[in-house]
Homo-oligomer: A and B are copies of this chain.
């Protein structure tokens, strides 16, 4: 699945700690999100459709949107506000791979574990560590949650870019949106702890 070696990408390896979320809790969250077999099929289709567009999509999000939002741009810069091109390049590669993982990875223990790892890498527990950089201490949970709305809006044309029918494009978008929402539900627990999570 990963065609190149991605710096800091440790999906499915022994480096990734076991999630505090159980398979049962993850399955219940899937039910709460209305995830169906059809959604799984549409996600796999989305993975095929997006496969050669991930670089462009992440560029769109990072350079096209995040870089222009004053309270989001600092998260890939130094505390003084200077760019860290190498950090951005590496995390862009992981961001690209995340799009494919969202679409193509089975929702097994590795998947749950890596959801926790992704969340941790946005909190002060692990942000900046894998790349050995100095930047903001964490990305606020509220911005993660809110930015999903932008990702869901802007992914739409990429899902329609390969000539699939309008129904298929909508089905892929629905499945994509559900998967992200499910991931957010898991990430929130890593940020907030298990109290009333």
List the interface of chain A (C-beta within 8 A of B): 25, 28-35, 65, 69, 71-72, 123-124, 138, 140-143, 145-150, 152-153, 174, 177-178, 181-182, 184-186, 188-189, 191-193, 196-197
The answer to whether A177 touches B149 (Cβ under 8 A) is yes
B124/A196 in contact, CB under 8 A: yes
Which of B71, B142, B153, B188 contacts A145, CB < 8 Å?
B188
> Are B141 and A197 in touch, CB under 8 angstroms?
yes
Beyond A30-B146, A33-B149, A191-B192, 10 additional contacts (C-beta under 8 Å) are A28-B143, A29-B142, A29-B143, A32-B146, A33-B150, A141-B185, A141-B197, A142-B186, A145-B145, A191-B197
CA A28 to CA B71, docked complex, whole Å: 7
Q: Would you call A196 and B140 a contact (CB within 8 A)?
A: yes
Taking A182-B146, A191-B192, A192-B192 as contacts, is the C-beta distance between A152 and B177 under 8 angstroms?
Answer: yes
